[in-house]
Amino acid sequence: MVASPPSKTLHSTVEVDLGSRTYPIYIGEGILREGDLLRKHVTSKRALVITNDRVGPLYLDETVAVLREGGVQVETVVLPDGEEYKSMEVLMKIMEAALTHRMDRTCTFVALGGGVIGDMVGFAAAIYQRGVKFVQVPTTLMAMVDSAVGGKTAVNHPLGKNMIGAFYQPQAVIADMATLRTLPDRELASGIAEVVKYGLIRDAAFFEWQEARVGALRARDAETLSEAVRRSCENKAAVVAADEREAGLRATLNLGHTFGHAIETGLGYGALLHGEAVAIGTHMAAVMSAKLGWIDAALAARAVALLRAAALPVELPRGGGMTPAKFEAAMALDKKVSEGELRLVLLRGPLGGCVFTGEYDAAAMRETIAEFCARQ
């Protein structure tokens, strides 16, 4: 599954196997600056590079330069940074730029940034002239291990996170590990929340690896970070290949997300980073799973201990004002509701086991929510 094709800069490649829409995830140090991989997947004469006002000053010029070296005519869009700007209103700025510069259906959009940029650019590419090519260039750990991989694209609505979007796969994902050097510590920890998820739901050995190396992850040890990204991408690629449109198996990747999305909606987008909300949601899912008797208390404790060791919050923020009513209202609009039934991803069995189900004791869910709200 993983290979290292010849390159000036050594990199590993994880393939997302989707038949005619199969694409590579490249993971390596300095591969954005080198430019060969980006130019390989921007085969059009024109490209629109979209970034935000935090990432742009760091990496926009070199991204534009390597494309122009390949003879590509490049235009740019710089959006405001933050989850609160992941909206239809801001998405229209991408549409406006593409139309102003007369981008046609042969152009390529390039998403340069974290998960918000990747989600928005992917959705923009899906709907602009009914679909144009795009390339993901993630610059955060969260985007590298999760949001840039798998083709889920969306914007938020005030009533619910990621409720407006499409499944739309990129041409390639180019994860330059060098960009993580400029990532704030809080953003790094946010990404680790998604790394922890893969271990809990399907890869016990990877979870144990994280327990032994969480200090090295936080210290940004290059080899450890690269290994975490590679193994996370291998896990996600396998799930996406088996269930691209989330009919069942892929939903397990949402461990902690139903609670987490409710927290983000209830507190207001931007109050917490996505991974921080997911970490709290993962704690809630582990507690609920233990209440149901589906895992033992020791496993729930290990999950919470690893999240804490990664410098992630595991409780609702004090004074946040989250109530059981807010949770229930937000969760009722979750995309995993089917015919009025809320399905959750919960841990079950030994480490690495989980279920996606609507068959659980709702009293355990309400009790879990009430306990977490009471501790604010």
**Annotated active-site residue in 250, 283, 336, 343:** 250
Please confirm, yes or no, whether 246 is among the known catalytic residues. Answer: yes
**φ, ψ dihedrals at 230, nearest 5°:** -60, -50
What is the residue whose two structure tokens read 């991803």? 345
| Strand-pair category, 344-347 with 341-342 | unpaired
Task: Identify the active-site residue in 29, 246, 264, 276.
Answer: 246
Of 41, 46, 133, 152, catalytic:
152
DSSP output for 63-131? HHHHHHHTT-EEEEEEEPPSGGG-SHHHHHHHHHHHHHTT--TT-EEEEEESHHHHHHHHHHHHHGGG-
Length of the chain, in residues: 376
**AA letter at 273:** L
Residue from 46, 54, 230, 261 carrying the catalytic annotation:
261
| Of 83, 187, 194, 234, catalytic | 194
Respond yes or no: is residue 161 known to be catalytic: no
Catalytic residue among 254, 302, 336, 343: 254
The C-alpha atoms of residue 261 and residue 272 are separated, in whole angstroms, by: 11
Marked catalytic residue, from 130, 245, 318, 375:
130
AA identity, residue 133: K
User: Which is nearest to 149 in space by CA: 20, 50, 16?
Assistant: 16
Supply the DSSP symbol for 243: -
Q: Residues 161, 274, 336, 343: which is the catalytic one?
A: 274
Annotation marks residue 283 as catalytic: no
Residue tagged active-site, from 161, 202, 236, 291: 236
Residue 291 known to be catalytic: no
130 flagged as catalytic: yes
In the residue annotation, 236 being an active-site residue is answered as yes
The structure tokens 């209202």 sit at: 329
CA distance linking residue 260 with residue 272, whole number of Å: 10
- Which residues are the active-site residues? 130, 152, 194, 236, 246, 250, 254, 257, 261, 274
